[in-house]
A and B are shown apart, each in its own frame.
Chain A
Amino acid sequence: MSPTDTIIRVRGLTREYRMASETIQALAGVDLEIAKNEYVAIMGPSGSGKSTMMNVIGCLDTPTAGEYWLNGVEVSRMTDDELAQVRNREIGFVFQTFNLLPRASAMHNVELPLIYAGTRAADRRERAGRALERVGLGDRMHHKPNELSGGQRQRVAIARALVNDPSILLADEPTGNLDSTTSEEIMAVFADLHRQGQTVIMVTHEADIAAHAHRVVTLRDGCVFSDMLGQAA
């Protein structure tokens, strides 16, 4: 693996939550490297620190200790606003709970990252439209989230994550709120995106979903327990 292909490099990553009486180590010194065009599944029991790690990798959270390089830039010491810009340019995040703006149309939801990137309105609409078409929602652009099914909402969220051409697509249990048929459809979308060259990191509880990935990283008590190349690779 050549160093230029490395997108994420994490060294001794630690995230502590200081509570009134105790300190919880959600991440206890994680070392990890992820290269371009990998499809990584992150597994582990509940409370093992998967979401915490995704939030740090997604620049939504900052580590208590350790280093995090994203595309060769150290982001672990950045300010709030610098992190916001990194999130805007480098990261597409898909959440279990979709996190769409309820009063905005699918189109406007997908446009949001472009608004904060300062893209002109005409450009924005065109790119948002293309992203929605990519996830098979070309005919639902002007629907509001409550006029869409769960699977369609998650597709809108994926389109929104993709619209800025991020270096990594992060998904924290993206099928956690969906039935099994819809889950399969959403997994097909991710597989398709990966085939087109997108780097994907996904948290999941289910082995059959992890089977889509090339590599499975298992966390336990905030540490990497195992790191294996899967069958799909």
Chain B
Amino acid sequence: MPLFEAVRLALQTIWTNKMKTAFSVIGVFIGVTFLIAVVSIVEGMNNYMVDRFAGTLLGINTFHLRRFPNFQTGEVTPEMWRSWVRRPRIRYEDADAVEAAITVPHIAAWESTARAELEYRGRIARDIEVTAATERYFEIKDLPIEAGRPFSAQEVKAGAPVLVIGWELGERLFEGRDPLGREVKIRGIPYRVIGVVEKQGNLFGISLDKFAITTAHAPAKRFVNPPGVVDALIVKTGSQEELDVAITQAEAAMRTRRQLRPAEENSFAIETADAVLDFWAKINRVLMMALPGLVSISLVVGGIVIMNIMLMAVSERTREIGIRKSLGARRRDILSQFLVESSTISAVGASIGVGVGLAAAAIVNATTPLPAAVAPWSIAVGVGLGAGVGIIAGIYPASRAARLDPIASMRQET
């Protein structure tokens, strides 16, 4: 019997036994749904981590020189924490010396950040991230200005009280009016808004558009850090190789300044996106290792269910098998009829699983901060596994059907 014919027959049989089919595909359905949904979410997280998280917060080809790391990727013990807070802070002179030590092409900026309240004519925006930075900050952090302008090197040097704000902060404070030129107060000191940054979207449900950036020596700097101290020196190079050189030079310069002996650990942190990405890769690996186990358990269960359903189908249809054999069906015709039927049942279950898995991913995407991106390979694997389970589960029932004796089968009452 040609394959097309067999599939048509199988679909017909499935259609006449809708309830039984629905029951028999549950296992495969769950397995494939699970596969698609989990892979989509992991894949989405992956994209997010690589493109947005690491890219946005830490930057590509970028390192941060800090007192201690901002993103902890392992367990931080109390002793570690105590030793970190005993470390000396990063001073202006440190930043200057490190920058002078780097010989590869680079751009650099200073950064000091605190949370503060912003006020505009009685309207208050609380818990806003206020960063005091130098002029290359916008370039390094890839923050394009949508309206107005960034601040200049002269303004930074002069400690000009000017602000470049995030899009959402503008909406909040000015309620749709043009933010440019308006005067905002931070701790009672007035700042003028000179620029608005393009909308950045959100990360894990946290808005990336509620911030204000002012000049590195602006009055606000005083309540962020003690005089002469910065949170971080940020250095960005043109390539990974240059970054490696820059990091080595920066480390050497800092160790010299701090007069560290070779056996002593760094009393500062050089943070790159790599560490965070490594950590994520580890989580990713664990998820991807657990996934096949979970999926195969439900597929095995699904396969056993399908096998039982097929055995039932064979005994119910013994007479049909006898009739077909009496008319010239060979063993392999009956075998393929039942194999095609079981794999079609299973593939139907898998396809529904793909559909529901995609829907689940879409729902997760829409209703939670977790991003989800469908991996095309997971759909192929899902349907393939589904049909494969069907074939394997069908082998025993189908070979039993194929071996039936035509006379005895036709004699069976139905």
**A and B are partners in one complex rather than unrelated chains:** yes
Residues in B whose Cβ lies below 8 Å from that of A117 = 328
In angstroms, how far is the closest chain A Cβ from the Cβ of B253?
81
CB of A116 within 8 A of CB of B328, answer yes
Contact with B328, one of A89, A101, A121 (Cβ below 8 angstroms): A89
Contact with B326, one of A81, A99, A103, A121 (Cβ below 8 angstroms): A99
CB of B326 within 8 A of CB of A116, answer no
Question: For residue B414, which residue of chain A has the nearest CB?
Answer: A102
In angstroms, how far is the closest chain B Cβ from the Cβ of A215?
25
- Report the separation of the CA atoms of residues A116 and B5 in the bound assembly, to the nearest whole angstrom: 11
Asked whether any CB of chain B lies closer than 8 Å to the CB of A115, the reply is yes
CB of B407 within 8 A of CB of A112, answer no
Question: For residue B322, which residue of chain A has the nearest CB?
Answer: A99
Asked whether any CB of chain A lies closer than 8 Å to the CB of B159, the reply is no
Asked whether any CB of chain A lies closer than 8 Å to the CB of B183, the reply is no
Contact residues of A between 54 and 93, Cβ < 8 Å to B: 55, 58, 60-61, 80-81, 84-85, 87-89, 93
- Report the separation of the CA atoms of residues A99 and B2 in the bound assembly, to the nearest whole angstrom: 24
Contact with A116, one of B319, B330, B407 (Cβ below 8 angstroms): B330
- Name the residue in A58, A60, A61 with the highest tally of chain B Cβ atoms < 10 Å from its Cβ: A60
Q: What secondary structure prevails in chain B residues at the interface with A? A: helix
Asked whether any CB of chain A lies closer than 8 Å to the CB of B325, the reply is yes
Residues in B whose Cβ lies below 8 Å from that of A58 = 326
Contact with B327, one of A80, A81, A87, A121 (Cβ below 8 angstroms): A87
Asked whether any CB of chain A lies closer than 8 Å to the CB of B331, the reply is yes
Residues in A whose Cβ lies below 8 Å from that of B406 = 60
Count residues of B near A (Cβ-Cβ below 8 Å). 22
In angstroms, how far is the closest chain B Cβ from the Cβ of A101?
6
CB of A112 within 8 A of CB of B332, answer no
Question: For residue A100, which residue of chain B has the nearest CB?
Answer: B323
Asked whether any CB of chain A lies closer than 8 Å to the CB of B107, the reply is no
Asked whether any CB of chain B lies closer than 8 Å to the CB of A190, the reply is no
Asked whether any CB of chain B lies closer than 8 Å to the CB of A95, the reply is yes
Residues in B whose Cβ lies below 8 Å from that of A129 = none
CB of A113 within 8 A of CB of B328, answer yes
Q: What secondary structure prevails in chain A residues at the interface with B? A: helix
Given A99-B323, A101-B323: A116 and B332 within 8 A (CB)? no
- Report the separation of the CA atoms of residues A113 and B329 in the bound assembly, to the nearest whole angstrom: 8
Contact with B along A144-175 (1 / 0, CB 8 A): 00000000000000001000100000000000
In angstroms, how far is the closest chain B Cβ from the Cβ of A78?
12
Asked whether any CB of chain A lies closer than 8 Å to the CB of B395, the reply is no
Contact with B331, one of A81, A88, A89, A93 (Cβ below 8 angstroms): A81
- Name the residue in B324, B327, B331 with the highest tally of chain A Cβ atoms < 10 Å from its Cβ: B327
CB of B333 within 8 A of CB of A87, answer no
Residues in B whose Cβ lies below 8 Å from that of A99 = 319, 322-323, 326, 410
- Report the separation of the CA atoms of residues A100 and B322 in the bound assembly, to the nearest whole angstrom: 11
Residues in A whose Cβ lies below 8 Å from that of B198 = none
Question: For residue A97, which residue of chain B has the nearest CB?
Answer: B410
Asked whether any CB of chain A lies closer than 8 Å to the CB of B72, the reply is no
CB of A95 within 8 A of CB of B410, answer yes
Residues in A whose Cβ lies below 8 Å from that of B2 = 118
Asked whether any CB of chain A lies closer than 8 Å to the CB of B1, the reply is yes
Question: For residue A61, which residue of chain B has the nearest CB?
Answer: B407
Question: For residue A86, which residue of chain B has the nearest CB?
Answer: B328
Contact residues of B between 1 and 28, Cβ < 8 Å to A: 1-2, 5, 16
In angstroms, how far is the closest chain B Cβ from the Cβ of A115?
6
In angstroms, how far is the closest chain A Cβ from the Cβ of B47?
48
CB of A60 within 8 A of CB of B331, answer no
- Report the separation of the CA atoms of residues A194 and B213 in the bound assembly, to the nearest whole angstrom: 103
Residues in B whose Cβ lies below 8 Å from that of A100 = 323
CB of B329 within 8 A of CB of A80, answer no
CB of A115 within 8 A of CB of B5, answer yes
In angstroms, how far is the closest chain A Cβ from the Cβ of B87?
81
- Report the separation of the CA atoms of residues A55 and B324 in the bound assembly, to the nearest whole angstrom: 15
Residues in B whose Cβ lies below 8 Å from that of A118 = 2
Given A103-B16, A116-B1: A80 and B326 within 8 A (CB)? no
Residues in A whose Cβ lies below 8 Å from that of B324 = 112, 116
In angstroms, how far is the closest chain A Cβ from the Cβ of B5?
6
Residues in B whose Cβ lies below 8 Å from that of A115 = 1, 5
- Report the separation of the CA atoms of residues A85 and B330 in the bound assembly, to the nearest whole angstrom: 7
Asked whether any CB of chain A lies closer than 8 Å to the CB of B129, the reply is no
In angstroms, how far is the closest chain B Cβ from the Cβ of A41?
22
CB of B331 within 8 A of CB of A112, answer no
Contact residues of A between 90 and 129, Cβ < 8 Å to B: 93, 95, 99-103, 112-113, 115-118, 121
- Report the separation of the CA atoms of residues A113 and B325 in the bound assembly, to the nearest whole angstrom: 10
Residues in A whose Cβ lies below 8 Å from that of B327 = 87-88, 112-113, 116, 160
Residues in B whose Cβ lies below 8 Å from that of A95 = 410
CB of B1 within 8 A of CB of A87, answer no
Contact with A along B52-76 (1 / 0, CB 8 A): 0000000000000000000000000
Given A60-B406, A103-B16, A115-B1: A84 and B323 within 8 A (CB)? no
- Report the separation of the CA atoms of residues A81 and B328 in the bound assembly, to the nearest whole angstrom: 9
Residues in B whose Cβ lies below 8 Å from that of A88 = 327-328
Given A99-B410, A103-B16: A80 and B331 within 8 A (CB)? yes
Residues in B whose Cβ lies below 8 Å from that of A93 = 326
User: Can you show 30 pairs from A to B with CB atoms below 8 A apart?
Assistant: A55-B407, A58-B326, A60-B407, A61-B407, A80-B330, A80-B331, A81-B330, A81-B332, A84-B325, A84-B328, A84-B329, A85-B328, A85-B330, A87-B325, A87-B326, A87-B328, A88-B327, A88-B328, A89-B328, A93-B326, A99-B323, A99-B326, A102-B414, A115-B1, A115-B5, A116-B324, A116-B328, A117-B328, A121-B5, A164-B328
Q: Top 7 A-B pairs ranked by shortest CB distance?
A: A88-B328, A116-B328, A81-B330, A84-B330, A113-B327, A87-B328, A112-B327
Instruction: With A88-B327, A115-B1, A116-B333 given, name 4 new contacts (CB 8 A).
Output: A87-B327, A99-B410, A101-B323, A113-B328
